[in-house]
């Protein structure tokens, strides 16, 4: 493995630091490294591997499509692209007029949505403190964390940040020059932070009052992660723009920007594009993921399993764990000390992949197929991991 690490360090741009392991295969909620050690993947590729690793139906669908047609360019369309767009339009639009733009990633989906906001004729965007929307320059301009943004300034201007969940601050910032308000229904990279009850509805009302678009970044929360197709819809609110990626392809790169109502008709031919976005291979993979989530009842499974996971962690009664927040299988374990990185390191040594997005928070985002039997060894190991 050391040789592989040395080759990585020589060959790759140093964007990610030193990898923790060299992984070589996966099955269900587990992965194996180059030395044969098995790990329970409690991060799911950062909420990407919704169906776990190598789900047989998804593998078969990708192989079948790869043997049929993989890429045609955006000068043509395919049945898979059209069907996926129709499915997403219905999912987000809820009976209202909606259109989809298919992309390769969450950042690219947010870039498309940002361009749509500019076509309103307004340039002011209200974003949330603690937010994360991607690394491309447009998406980065909406991301609150200064260390991500500062090395690349000047970025696209016109962004105002307000505290996440602060209704008074949002109301004070919104005016008739605001193009859109962008927010995550649950902030993932900030440590799985939930807004106060009614905050999304308040944002909807304020946007309506000022003629602004309400933009939900569901890249991490969407596609069943929280036990619902859309976390915003689960909270009873419809967005004008909704962006997806991560779990949409179950590991295959794909994203989507769905625009509803008047926002659906703002982009005209020639104003935006993508070479690979919505190709038949990616679209067929996403359609298969949607079918599997639906046919295997994974929305309800994620809701129930996530509730069990949260209550089981809290029931261990460790003084280092204050509480567990989040919904479904997107959970933040809130610690009483800034020891999350140490816990994540010890967990990896014990065969569990977790993530430390903040010094006092562990993030858990296992595959939607994970069972309580799969999770029980992690619960049993917690006292040693946090001690």
**pLDDT at site 2:** 62
Residue 59 lies in a domain: no
pLDDT tens string 25-41: 999 999 999 999 999 99
Q: How many CB atoms lie within 10 A of CB 283?
A: 27
**pLDDT at site 387:** 86
Residue numbers in the known binding site are 132, 135, 217-220, 274-275
pLDDT tens string 43-102: 999 999 999 999 999 999 999 999 999 999 999 999 999 999 999 999 999 999 999 999
Residue numbers in the known binding site for N(2)-acetyl-L-ornithine are 135, 274
pLDDT tens string 103-151: 999 999 999 999 999 999 999 999 999 999 999 999 999 999 989 999 9
Q: What is the CATH number of the domain that holds 103?
A: 3.40.640.10
Residue 84 lies in a domain: yes
- The domain in which residue 190 lies consists of 69-295
Sign of CA dihedral 164, 168, 172, 174: positive
- Find the mean pLDDT for residues 295-318: 98
Q: What is the CATH number of the domain that holds 360?
A: 3.90.1150.10
Sign of CA dihedral 221, 223, 227, 229: positive
Domain endpoint, select from 295, 318, 341: 295
Number of structural domains (the chain) is 2
Residue numbers in the known binding site for pyridoxal 5'-phosphate are 132, 217-220, 275
Residue 360 designated active-site: no
Same domain? 291 vs 301 = no
Residue 132 designated active-site: yes
Same domain? 111 vs 122 = yes
Enter the tokens of residue 226: 């929280």
d(CA 335, CA 55): 34
Residue 62 lies in a domain: no
Residue 252 designated active-site: no
Which of these is catalytic: 132, 244, 252, 378?
Answer: 132
Which of these is catalytic: 124, 244, 246, 374?
Answer: 246
Q: What angle do CA 142, 344, 140 make, to 5 degrees?
A: 10
Which of these is catalytic: 41, 217, 240, 374?
Answer: 217
Domain endpoint, select from 271, 295, 319: 295
Domain endpoint, select from 260, 295, 330: 295
Same domain? 287 vs 245 = yes
Same domain? 91 vs 185 = yes
């Amino acid at each position: 493995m050391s040789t592989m690490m040395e080759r990585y360090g020589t060959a790759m741009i140093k964007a990610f630091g030193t990898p923790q392991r060299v992984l070589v295969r996966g099955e269900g909620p587990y992965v194996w490294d180059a030395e044969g050690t098995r790990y329970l993947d409690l991060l799911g590729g950062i909420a990407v591997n919704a169906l776990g690793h190598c789900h047989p139906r998804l593998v078969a669908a990708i192989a079948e499509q790869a043997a049929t047609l993989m890429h045609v360019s955006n000068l043509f369309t395919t049945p898979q692209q059209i069907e996926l767009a129709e499915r997403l339009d219905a999912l987000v639009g809820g009976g209202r007029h909606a259109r989809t733009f298919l992309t390769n990633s969450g950042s690219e989906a947010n870039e498309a949505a940002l361009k749509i906001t500019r076509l309103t004729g307004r340039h002011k965007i209200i974003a949330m403190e603690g937010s994360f929307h991607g690394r491309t320059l447009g998406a980065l301009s909406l991301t609150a964390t200064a260390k991500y943004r500062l090395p690349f300034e000047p970025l696209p201007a016109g962004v105002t940040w307000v505290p996440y969940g602060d209704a008074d601050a949002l109301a004070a910032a919104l005016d008739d020059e605001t193009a859109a308000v962008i927010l995550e229904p649950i902030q993932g990279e900030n440590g799985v932070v939930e807004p106060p009850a009614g905050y999304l509805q308040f944002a909807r009302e304020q946007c309506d009052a000022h003629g602004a678009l309400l933009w939900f970044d569901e890249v991490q929360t969407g596609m069943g992660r929280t036990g619902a197709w859309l976390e915003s819809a689960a909270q009873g609110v419809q967005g004008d723009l909704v962006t997806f990626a991560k779990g949409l392809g179950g590991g295959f790169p794909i994203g989507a920007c769905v625009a509803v109502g008047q926002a659906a008709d703002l982009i005209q031919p020639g104003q935006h594009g993508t070479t690979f976005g919505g190709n038949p291979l990616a679209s067929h993979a996403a359609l298969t993921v949607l079918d599997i989530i639906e046919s295997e009842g994974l929305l309800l499974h994620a809701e129930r399993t996530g509730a069990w996971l949260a209550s089981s962690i809290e029931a261990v009664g460790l003084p280092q764990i204050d509480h567990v927040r989040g919904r479904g299988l997107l959970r933040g374990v809130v610690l009483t000390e800034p020891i999350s990185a140490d816990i994540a390191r010890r967990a990896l040594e014990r065969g569990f992949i977790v993530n430390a997005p903040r010094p006092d928070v562990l993030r858990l985002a296992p595959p939607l197929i994970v069972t309580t039997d799969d999770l029980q060894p992690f619960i049993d190991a917690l006292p040693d991991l946090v001690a």
